[in-house]
Chains A and B, each alone.
Chain A
Amino acid sequence: MKNLTDVEIIESVKKGNQADYAVLIDRYKNKAFTMLKRMLKNEFDAEEVLMDCFLKAYNNINNFKFESKFSTWFYRIVYNTALTKLSNTKRKIESEMDSIDDLNYLESKYNADDFLKNDMSDLVRKIINELPVKNAAVITMFYLEEMNTDEIADVLQISVANVKVILHRSRNLLKELIEKRNLLQEIL
Protein backbone atom coordinates (compact mmCIF):
# COMPACT_ATOMS: atom_id res chain seq x y z
CA MET A 1 0.00 0.00 0.00
CA LYS A 2 2.85 2.34 0.85
CA ASN A 3 4.21 2.07 -2.70
CA LEU A 4 0.96 3.22 -4.27
CA THR A 5 0.75 6.65 -5.88
CA ASP A 6 -1.40 9.40 -4.39
CA VAL A 7 -3.88 8.92 -7.25
CA GLU A 8 -4.23 5.19 -6.56
CA ILE A 9 -4.78 5.82 -2.85
CA ILE A 10 -7.39 8.51 -3.50
CA GLU A 11 -9.22 6.25 -5.95
CA SER A 12 -9.29 3.55 -3.29
CA VAL A 13 -10.54 6.00 -0.62
CA LYS A 14 -13.23 7.23 -3.03
CA LYS A 15 -14.37 3.61 -3.41
CA GLY A 16 -14.96 3.51 0.35
CA ASN A 17 -11.67 2.12 1.65
CA GLN A 18 -11.39 4.66 4.42
CA ALA A 19 -8.41 2.94 6.08
CA ASP A 20 -6.25 3.69 3.03
CA TYR A 21 -6.46 7.39 3.87
CA ALA A 22 -4.00 6.68 6.70
CA VAL A 23 -1.28 6.10 4.08
CA LEU A 24 -1.88 9.54 2.65
CA ILE A 25 -1.84 11.05 6.15
CA ASP A 26 1.48 9.40 6.95
CA ARG A 27 2.88 10.57 3.63
CA TYR A 28 2.12 14.26 4.18
CA LYS A 29 1.69 14.84 7.91
CA ASN A 30 5.25 15.76 8.93
CA LYS A 31 6.01 18.13 6.06
CA ALA A 32 2.63 19.84 6.30
CA PHE A 33 3.05 20.03 10.08
CA THR A 34 6.42 21.70 9.57
CA MET A 35 4.88 24.29 7.25
CA LEU A 36 2.08 25.00 9.73
CA LYS A 37 4.47 25.25 12.66
CA ARG A 38 6.57 27.74 10.75
CA MET A 39 3.53 29.75 9.71
CA LEU A 40 1.66 29.71 13.02
CA LYS A 41 4.77 29.83 15.24
CA ASN A 42 3.07 27.42 17.60
CA GLU A 43 3.34 23.63 17.75
CA PHE A 44 0.00 22.96 19.42
CA ASP A 45 -1.94 25.14 16.93
CA ALA A 46 -0.02 23.53 14.06
CA GLU A 47 -1.12 20.02 14.99
CA GLU A 48 -4.71 21.11 15.62
CA VAL A 49 -4.91 22.90 12.26
CA LEU A 50 -3.25 19.95 10.51
CA MET A 51 -5.92 17.61 11.83
CA ASP A 52 -8.56 20.02 10.56
CA CYS A 53 -6.86 20.08 7.11
CA PHE A 54 -6.85 16.30 6.78
CA LEU A 55 -10.51 16.17 7.82
CA LYS A 56 -11.38 18.86 5.24
CA ALA A 57 -9.46 17.02 2.53
CA TYR A 58 -11.21 13.74 3.39
CA ASN A 59 -14.65 15.32 3.45
CA ASN A 60 -14.01 16.94 0.07
CA ILE A 61 -12.14 14.07 -1.55
CA ASN A 62 -14.93 13.61 -4.11
CA ASN A 63 -14.30 17.18 -5.29
CA PHE A 64 -10.69 16.29 -6.08
CA LYS A 65 -10.82 15.69 -9.82
CA PHE A 66 -7.15 14.79 -10.41
CA GLU A 67 -6.69 18.03 -12.37
CA SER A 68 -3.68 18.90 -10.23
CA LYS A 69 -1.39 16.87 -8.01
CA PHE A 70 -2.91 15.91 -4.67
CA SER A 71 -0.02 17.75 -2.97
CA THR A 72 -0.96 21.06 -4.64
CA TRP A 73 -4.62 20.62 -3.72
CA PHE A 74 -3.81 19.58 -0.15
CA TYR A 75 -1.26 22.35 0.47
CA ARG A 76 -3.82 24.91 -0.72
CA ILE A 77 -6.10 23.63 2.05
CA VAL A 78 -3.20 23.78 4.52
CA TYR A 79 -2.15 27.30 3.54
CA ASN A 80 -5.68 28.73 3.55
CA THR A 81 -6.60 27.05 6.83
CA ALA A 82 -3.45 28.49 8.42
CA LEU A 83 -4.38 31.97 7.17
CA THR A 84 -7.87 31.57 8.64
CA LYS A 85 -6.36 30.49 11.96
CA LEU A 86 -4.05 33.50 11.91
CA SER A 87 -6.92 35.83 11.09
CA ASN A 88 -8.72 34.56 14.18
CA THR A 89 -5.86 35.38 16.50
CA LYS A 90 -3.85 38.39 17.46
CA ARG A 91 -1.02 37.02 15.37
CA LYS A 92 -2.93 38.41 12.41
CA ILE A 93 -1.57 41.84 13.29
CA GLU A 94 1.97 40.54 13.42
CA SER A 95 1.65 38.62 10.16
CA GLU A 96 0.22 41.62 8.40
CA MET A 97 3.15 43.66 9.58
CA ASP A 98 5.59 41.14 8.14
CA SER A 99 5.81 42.06 4.49
CA ILE A 100 8.02 40.06 2.17
CA ASP A 101 10.30 43.09 1.94
CA ASP A 102 10.75 43.23 5.66
CA LEU A 103 13.37 40.66 6.48
CA ASN A 104 15.73 43.30 7.88
CA TYR A 105 14.57 42.69 11.42
CA LEU A 106 15.82 39.11 11.15
CA GLU A 107 19.10 40.16 9.63
CA SER A 108 19.69 42.58 12.48
CA LYS A 109 18.52 40.07 15.08
CA TYR A 110 21.07 37.46 14.04
CA ASN A 111 24.66 38.31 13.26
CA ALA A 112 27.81 36.64 11.98
CA ASP A 113 28.85 35.91 15.55
CA ASP A 114 25.78 33.70 16.03
CA PHE A 115 26.91 31.61 13.08
CA LEU A 116 30.36 31.19 14.64
CA LYS A 117 29.07 30.24 18.08
CA ASN A 118 26.13 28.03 17.12
CA ASP A 119 25.61 25.02 14.93
CA MET A 120 24.74 26.32 11.47
CA SER A 121 21.82 23.93 10.96
CA ASP A 122 20.27 24.88 14.31
CA LEU A 123 20.56 28.56 13.52
CA VAL A 124 19.04 28.12 10.07
CA ARG A 125 16.15 26.26 11.65
CA LYS A 126 15.63 29.12 14.12
CA ILE A 127 15.69 31.71 11.35
CA ILE A 128 13.22 29.75 9.19
CA ASN A 129 10.88 29.50 12.18
CA GLU A 130 10.87 33.28 12.44
CA LEU A 131 10.27 34.05 8.77
CA PRO A 132 7.07 35.91 7.82
CA VAL A 133 4.12 33.64 6.99
CA LYS A 134 4.41 33.64 3.20
CA ASN A 135 8.19 33.21 3.22
CA ALA A 136 7.88 30.30 5.64
CA ALA A 137 5.31 28.64 3.38
CA VAL A 138 7.39 29.09 0.22
CA ILE A 139 10.63 27.85 1.81
CA THR A 140 8.89 24.76 3.20
CA MET A 141 7.14 23.80 -0.02
CA PHE A 142 10.26 24.42 -2.12
CA TYR A 143 12.86 22.68 0.03
CA LEU A 144 10.93 20.14 2.06
CA GLU A 145 8.12 19.14 -0.27
CA GLU A 146 10.32 19.81 -3.34
CA MET A 147 7.49 21.56 -5.15
CA ASN A 148 8.41 23.75 -8.11
CA THR A 149 7.65 27.47 -8.28
CA ASP A 150 4.63 26.90 -10.58
CA GLU A 151 3.04 24.55 -8.05
CA ILE A 152 3.79 26.91 -5.16
CA ALA A 153 2.24 29.81 -7.10
CA ASP A 154 -0.84 27.64 -7.59
CA VAL A 155 -1.08 26.94 -3.85
CA LEU A 156 -0.57 30.56 -2.79
CA GLN A 157 -2.62 31.97 -5.69
CA ILE A 158 0.13 34.44 -6.57
CA SER A 159 2.31 34.82 -9.65
CA VAL A 160 5.34 32.62 -10.25
CA ALA A 161 7.45 35.80 -10.34
CA ASN A 162 6.27 36.65 -6.83
CA VAL A 163 7.12 33.17 -5.56
CA LYS A 164 10.64 33.59 -6.94
CA VAL A 165 11.00 37.00 -5.26
CA ILE A 166 9.97 35.50 -1.90
CA LEU A 167 12.27 32.51 -2.38
CA HIS A 168 15.25 34.65 -3.37
CA ARG A 169 14.79 37.13 -0.53
CA SER A 170 14.57 34.35 2.04
CA ARG A 171 17.72 32.75 0.62
CA ASN A 172 19.51 36.10 0.43
CA LEU A 173 18.87 36.69 4.11
CA LEU A 174 20.86 33.56 4.94
CA LYS A 175 23.46 34.34 2.29
CA GLU A 176 24.14 37.76 3.85
CA LEU A 177 24.64 36.20 7.28
CA ILE A 178 26.93 33.51 5.87
CA GLU A 179 28.96 36.14 4.00
CA LYS A 180 29.40 38.12 7.22
CA ARG A 181 30.42 34.96 9.07
CA ASN A 182 32.98 34.10 6.39
CA LEU A 183 34.39 37.61 6.59
CA LEU A 184 34.63 37.36 10.36
CA GLN A 185 36.40 34.01 10.07
CA GLU A 186 38.95 35.54 7.72
CA ILE A 187 39.64 38.36 10.19
CA LEU A 188 39.96 36.06 13.23
Chain B
Amino acid sequence: MNNITDEMLNKYLDNDLTSAEMQQVKSAIEKSTELEKKYEALLTANNLLKKTDADLTSGDFTKNLMQKLKA
Protein backbone atom coordinates (compact mmCIF):
# COMPACT_ATOMS: atom_id res chain seq x y z
CA MET B 1 0.00 0.00 0.00
CA ASN B 2 2.67 2.47 1.12
CA ASN B 3 5.10 2.92 3.98
CA ILE B 4 2.71 4.78 6.30
CA THR B 5 2.53 2.94 9.61
CA ASP B 6 -0.20 3.00 12.26
CA GLU B 7 2.26 4.94 14.39
CA MET B 8 2.52 7.65 11.74
CA LEU B 9 -1.26 7.80 11.35
CA ASN B 10 -1.60 8.33 15.09
CA LYS B 11 1.00 11.07 15.02
CA TYR B 12 -0.73 12.62 12.00
CA LEU B 13 -3.98 12.64 13.95
CA ASP B 14 -2.23 14.36 16.86
CA ASN B 15 -0.41 16.80 14.59
CA ASP B 16 2.78 15.36 16.02
CA LEU B 17 4.89 15.14 12.84
CA THR B 18 7.15 17.56 11.05
CA SER B 19 5.42 19.60 8.35
CA ALA B 20 7.13 17.49 5.66
CA GLU B 21 5.91 14.27 7.30
CA MET B 22 2.40 15.73 7.71
CA GLN B 23 2.35 16.46 3.99
CA GLN B 24 3.68 12.97 3.18
CA VAL B 25 0.90 11.27 5.19
CA LYS B 26 -1.79 13.61 3.84
CA SER B 27 -0.74 12.88 0.28
CA ALA B 28 -0.59 9.11 0.93
CA ILE B 29 -4.13 9.15 2.39
CA GLU B 30 -5.41 11.03 -0.65
CA LYS B 31 -3.83 8.51 -3.02
CA SER B 32 -4.82 5.28 -1.29
CA THR B 33 -8.43 4.26 -0.56
CA GLU B 34 -7.15 1.54 1.75
CA LEU B 35 -5.14 4.01 3.80
CA GLU B 36 -8.01 6.47 3.78
CA LYS B 37 -10.31 3.81 5.27
CA LYS B 38 -7.68 3.01 7.88
CA TYR B 39 -7.38 6.69 8.84
CA GLU B 40 -11.17 7.08 8.97
CA ALA B 41 -11.36 4.13 11.37
CA LEU B 42 -8.73 5.78 13.54
CA LEU B 43 -10.69 9.05 13.47
CA THR B 44 -13.86 7.18 14.47
CA ALA B 45 -11.97 5.53 17.36
CA ASN B 46 -10.67 8.93 18.43
CA ASN B 47 -14.14 10.52 18.28
CA LEU B 48 -15.72 7.68 20.26
CA LEU B 49 -13.05 8.03 22.94
CA LYS B 50 -13.66 11.79 23.08
CA LYS B 51 -17.40 11.26 23.49
CA THR B 52 -17.11 8.83 26.40
CA ASP B 53 -18.56 10.55 29.45
CA ALA B 54 -17.30 10.43 33.01
CA ASP B 55 -18.94 8.11 35.52
CA LEU B 56 -20.56 9.83 38.47
CA THR B 57 -19.70 9.38 42.13
CA SER B 58 -22.55 8.80 44.58
CA GLY B 59 -24.69 11.90 45.17
CA ASP B 60 -23.50 12.54 48.72
CA PHE B 61 -19.79 12.07 47.99
CA THR B 62 -18.72 15.70 48.52
CA LYS B 63 -20.90 16.08 51.62
CA ASN B 64 -19.50 12.89 53.20
CA LEU B 65 -15.94 13.90 52.37
CA MET B 66 -16.35 17.38 53.84
CA GLN B 67 -17.73 15.83 57.01
CA LYS B 68 -14.65 13.62 57.25
CA LEU B 69 -12.44 16.70 56.87
CA LYS B 70 -14.27 18.49 59.68
CA ALA B 71 -14.02 15.47 61.98
A: residues with CB less than 8 A from B are 18-19, 21-22, 25-26, 29-31, 33-34, 37, 43, 47, 50-51, 54-55, 58, 120-121, 124-125, 128, 139, 143-144, 164, 167-168, 171-172, 174-176, 178-179, 182
Contact = CB atoms under 8 A, between A and B. Distances in A.
Determine the main DSSP class of B at the interface with A: helix
B49 A143 contact: yes
A93 to B, nearest CB: 25
Interface of B: 6-7, 10-11, 16, 37-38, 41-42, 44-46, 48-52, 54-58, 61-62, 64-66, 68-70
Given A47-B61, A120-B48, A179-B37, A55 B69 contact: yes
24 contacts: A21-B69, A22-B66, A25-B62, A30-B56, A33-B57, A34-B54, A34-B55, A47-B58, A50-B61, A121-B48, A121-B51, A124-B49, A124-B52, A128-B49, A139-B49, A144-B54, A171-B46, A175-B42, A175-B44, A175-B45, A178-B44, A179-B38, A182-B37, A182-B41
Nearest to B64: A51
Given A18-B70, A30-B55, A176-B41, 19 more contacts: A18-B66, A19-B66, A21-B69, A25-B65, A29-B57, A30-B56, A51-B61, A55-B68, A58-B69, A124-B49, A143-B49, A144-B52, A144-B54, A164-B11, A172-B45, A175-B41, A178-B44, A179-B37, A182-B41
B68 A51 contact: yes
A175 B65 contact: no
Given A37-B55, A47-B57, A168-B10, A54 B48 contact: no
Contacts of A33: 54-57
Contacts of B61: 25, 29, 47, 50-51
Contacts of B48: 120-121, 124, 174
B15 to A, nearest CB: 12
A121 B52 contact: yes
5 A-B pairs with least C-beta separation = A174-B45, A168-B10, A178-B41, A30-B54, A179-B41
A137 to B, nearest CB: 14
A174 B69 CA distance: 42
Contacts of A55: 65, 68-69
Contacts of A144: 52, 54
A178 to B, nearest CB: 4
Contacts of A171: 10, 42, 45-46, 49
